[in-house]
Amino acid sequence: MEELNNLFHGFSVAMTLPNLAYMLIGIVLGVLIGVLPGLGGANGIAILLPLTFTMDPTSAIIMLSCIYWGALFGGAITSILFNIPGEPWSVATTFDGYPMAQQGRAAQALTAAFTSSFVGALFAVILITFLAPVLARFALNFGPAEYFAVQLLTFCSFVGMSKEPVAKVVAAMMLGFSLAAVGMDSVTGQLRMTYGFPVLLKGFDFLIAVIGLFGIGEILLTMEKGLAFKGKTAKLSPNIVWQTWRTLPKYWLTFLRSTAIGCWMGITPGGATPASFMSYGVARRMSSDPESFGKGQVEGVLAPETAAHAAGTSALLPMLTLGIPGSPTAAVLLGGLMIWGLQPGPMLFVEHKDFVWGLIASMYLGNIVGLLVVLTTVPYWAAFLRIPFSVIAPVIVVICAIGAYTVHSSMFDVVMMMVFGVVGYLFKKLKYPMAPLVLALVLGDMAETSFRQSMLLSQGSLSIFWSNSLVGSIFGLAMLMLAWPLLAKLSGLLRLKKD
């Protein structure tokens, strides 16, 4: 089978000594990022991305993707031991993870969390291995109209499937589109919204925005809360790990169900956070003892962690094959590919096979390495968290500032990072979602270019978006996603009338 031959070639690329070293460094940095509530996967990758510009793209993406796997693993540590979610998708893990730690079962909870994370990510990587080439070959038939329809479907899905109020999602997305439009028009060469400031000619760099929104914004919010790290301790022994593993096969249906939810929410722009909550809710609803959830039920740890890892990993599938990121972290990685001169999309699988299959192979290896690292180093991360946050916060701010300055060697970028940090803080306080803003900032230019190319081809006629069954189906699905909240409300009103 061609996919297996390509995968074996990918292992030969990923298993070189330098790439294995980058993999281990990425996992350790990722766990650290996941453990610290002031950072996150997207922000950690954004901060370190400028440092990879001189690296080989394959080595760089392997290290950055392993940072992501490590962050996914690390978020569970603080959730279970400290009742502090290191990542947004770890919130649901606290519901049963922390009660287990309070009952003296922290080691069992951590083993269950790490194992379910491994299982969720493994199934998602298998999905990417066999589905990505098929999807990429299919996408070779795409033209400007099809690409715009797919991009529109992504935006509309965020509106239709998001748990946040529609008005807030649209407002965040419109701000992202506005920021993406600043600078030079790529088609006409005219300046837009620069207001006479030469520094705005290049527009707003998405890296600067992400570092500010996620890093500085989270730090400001954490400082306001006066977060103190006081929690339980845990030491994982081989005996506890083995005893926990022996009990997990009976939850095979939970693993299967949570993986399916996670992969679906990753491929569609749902994300790891909604996937974890949805999986937890479904597990509780389907359980024979739903009352035990929230009191230290191991299934309440397995479900959200499996779904979060499956969603976080499968979000890379549309990013690699279509150039459409399924999560903020995938959006940051998308930007990294473009900076390295690699255009995400179907041609990536044709022109850069070493890169693509080296990355996919590193997902398998990184997942295994990540599991081993977190199982053997939990006590060290728990001890690290007892460093006062007043010491950790300035270090994170300095790292963010260095990352922002490195992008263009400009102090203006550092200032803009702080501005975006305030915006991120306000977004979190007012409960506005940041994922639509980041998505629009990254994809805004691409969507605009695809739309304008479509209009040039059709001489200004919108009928091009219904000119064939493929583009018509995608465009129609996008309109359905856009109208989904309204349809849901109408359905609810009809049910009330019947009752």
pLDDT tens, 253-264? 888 888 888 887
- The band of 270, judged by pLDDT with boundaries at 50, 70 and 90, is low
Mean pLDDT value across residues 425-454: 82
- The band of 477, judged by pLDDT with boundaries at 50, 70 and 90, is confident
CB 344 within 8 A of CB 319: yes
Mean pLDDT taken over the chain: 78
Q: Which of 31-45, 331-345, 422-436 has the lowest mean pLDDT?
A: 31-45
- Structure confidence at residue 385 (pLDDT): 58
Predicted confidence (pLDDT) at residue 226 exceeds the cutoff of 70: no
DSSP codes of every residue in 258-320: HHHHHHHHHHTTT-HHHHHHHHHHHHHHH-S-GGGTTSS-THHHHHHHHHHHHHHHHTHHHHH
- Structure confidence at residue 68 (pLDDT): 77
- Structure confidence at residue 139 (pLDDT): 67
- Structure confidence at residue 367 (pLDDT): 83
The radius of gyration of the chain's CA atoms, rounded to the nearest angstrom, is 22
Q: For residue range 134-165, what is the model confidence (pLDDT) as tens digits?
A: 777 776 677 788 878 877 877 887 777 666 78
How far is Cα 406 from Cα 398, in angstroms, rounded to an integer?
A: 12
Q: For residue range 350-369, what is the model confidence (pLDDT) as tens digits?
A: 777 777 888 888 888 888 88
- Structure confidence at residue 220 (pLDDT): 82
* Phi/psi of residue 191, nearest 5 degrees: -85, 140
Determine the 3-state secondary structure of 196 from DSSP.
Answer: coil
Q: Which of 184-198, 374-388, 432-446 has the lowest mean pLDDT?
A: 374-388
- The band of 482, judged by pLDDT with boundaries at 50, 70 and 90, is confident
Mean pLDDT value across residues 42-62: 75
The partner residues of 191 in beta bridges, in order of sequence, read 184
Is the C-alpha dihedral spanning 96, 101, 105, 107 positive or negative?
positive
Is the C-alpha dihedral spanning 226, 227, 231, 235 positive or negative?
negative
Enter the tokens of residue 399: 């790292």
- Structure confidence at residue 366 (pLDDT): 83
Angle value at C-alpha 214, between 63 and 421, nearest 5 degrees: 135
- The band of 239, judged by pLDDT with boundaries at 50, 70 and 90, is confident
Q: For residue range 441-463, what is the model confidence (pLDDT) as tens digits?
A: 877 877 888 888 888 888 888 88
How far is Cα 332 from Cα 335, in angstroms, rounded to an integer?
A: 5
Greater confidence (118 vs 85) lies with 118
- 3-class SS string, 425-472: HHHHHCCCCCHHHHHHHHHHHHHHHHHHHHHHHCCCCHHHHHCCHHHH
Greater confidence (253 vs 439) lies with 253
Please, which residues have CB within 8 angstroms of residue 299's CB and are 6 or more apart in sequence?
Answer: 96, 251, 254, 283, 287, 293
Q: Which of 164-168, 307-311, 321-325 has the lowest mean pLDDT?
A: 321-325
